[in-house]
Amino acid sequence: MRYFKGKQFKKDIILIAVGYYCRFSLSYRDVSEILKERGVSVHPTTIMRWVREYGNLIYQIWKKKNKSAHLTWHLDETYIQVKGEWRYLYCTIDQEGYTLDIQLRKTRDYQAAYMFMKRLVNAFGEPTVLTTDKAPALLCAFKKLQKNNFYMHTKHSARFSYHKRNRNDSRRKDEVFQKASSFRRSMTYKN
């Protein structure tokens, strides 16, 4: 691949380092230590640069190859501040909690929801169940897409209590923290 031309390390090492960081919730230093055990000396800052440079590229390639998603999707939008400006973040996760797609928009209207939902069905196919909150824009976009022969076999479920699933889940944070701290403990007690 031309993306790795002129790099000091081989593309296999770069891909493994970025993959470890993204897949296993490790810190840059942890990835550096794992590679050092395998005979490759890489500074954590270098891994940080690789993740910034290749993380999105690897995610896009993975998304094209792994278009299969679970058949139950949860779609939500939230209002966030990006560089001092307020934007709407549309996010879809499957029943396992994996993020299928996200999109940042200036407006929270039917057109934004329509484009996002159409992009989802084109990328991943139709789910059996699509759960959203009771936002009118999402309901309108879903009905319009059904008229245009999308989501024909999909059952739509609208709930108010859904919003907690898409937000930062404290259980996930605790799991990542425990995994990282146990890894560090095992590294310090080895000596």
25 and 49 in one domain?
A: yes
What DSSP line would sit under 58-109, residue for residue? HHHHHHHH-----SEEEEEEEEEEETTEEEEEEEEEETTS-EEEEEEES--S
Per residue of the chain (191 residues), give pLDDT as tens: 677 787 888 888 998 999 889 888 899 999 999 999 999 999 999 999 999 998 888 877 777 776 665 788 999 889 899 889 999 999 998 887 778 888 999 988 999 999 999 999 988 888 999 999 888 889 999 999 999 999 988 998 887 654 455 454 444 545 544 444 444 444 444 43
87 and 48 in one domain?
A: no
Domain hosting residue 157, numbered range: 72-170
What is the pTM for the complete model shown? Answer: 0.55
Structural domain includes residue 182? no
Structural domain includes residue 187? no
Which of 49, 66, 83 terminates a domain? The answer is 66
Task: Measure CA 141 to chain center.
Answer: 23
166 and 76 in one domain?
A: yes
62 and 88 in one domain?
A: no
Number of separate domains in the chain: 2
